[in-house]
A and B are shown apart, each in its own frame.
Chain A
Amino acid sequence: RKEVEQDPGPFNVPEGATVAFNCTYSNSASQSFFWYRQDCRKEPKLLMSVYSSGNEDGRFTAQLNRASQYISLLIRDSKLSDSATYLCVVPNNAGNMLTFGGGTRLMVKP
């Protein structure tokens, strides 16, 4: 299994839709996880952190399933501005190295 694996998409959804992305990871010892957002040719920016079973921030919900080693990101009421690539990121145990998934591209259409 790849270290961090994501469906590359693209996910094409209309405004207002709910969309979910999944990510699987190989290191069963990983304790925390991140979802970063990356706009075209820009730097990654932190969207959410996930430490326990899940986290919610407004329209965004991240959930963690340790038994199955996957993390999900749910976006409700999609906006045009949500169009971006969403990166699943797993730190090593020391926290001094991030492993990125290949990203899932989301395109929200009017």
Chain B
Amino acid sequence: EPEVTQTPSHQVTQMGQEVILRCVPISNHLYFYWYRQILGQKVEFLVSFYNNEISEKSEIFDDQFSVERPDGSNFTLKIRSTKLEDSAMYFCASTESTGQLYEQYFGPGTRLTVT
């Protein structure tokens, strides 16, 4: 069964450093997403991406965040200058199309720890 993959599984970084989280969506999917989940809290939407453009973003997704599809398979989330409060699990998701009926398939997540 096709699946979304993410690397690394765990990233430790120092405050102020840049991090890039990587995702490989399911191969025939065209819509990509990032969510985060701070430990003990709910899953929160960050951004959706289609056709090399951001289609929706939340208030959390401020100027320190950016997304990119650098090639035909990877989808990345960059955090420019990490803060302690960025420590969370970051989930990538993808769908084959958009609309309320389409399931978003989630990757296993990257645990980001900012020290």
Contacts and interface: CB of A to CB of B under 8 A. Distances in A.
B42 A96 contact: no
Given A96-B55, A96-B56, A99-B45, A34 B103 contact: yes
A32 B100 contact: yes
A31 B99 CA distance: 10
Interface residues of B, number: 29
Interface residues of A, number: 27
Contact of A100 (B42, B89, B99, B101): B42
Given A43-B107, A43-B109, A93 B44 contact: no
Contacts of B31: 96
By secondary structure, the A interface counts as loop
B6 to A, nearest CB: 9
Interface of B: 31, 33, 35, 41-45, 48, 50, 55-56, 58, 89, 91, 95, 98-109, 111
Contacts of A100: 42-44
Contacts of B102: 95
A20 interface: no
Contacts of A31: 100
Given A44-B91, A103-B42, 4 more contacts: A43-B109, A95-B95, A97-B48, A102-B42
Given A43-B109, A44-B91, A95 B42 contact: no
A99 B31 CA distance: 17
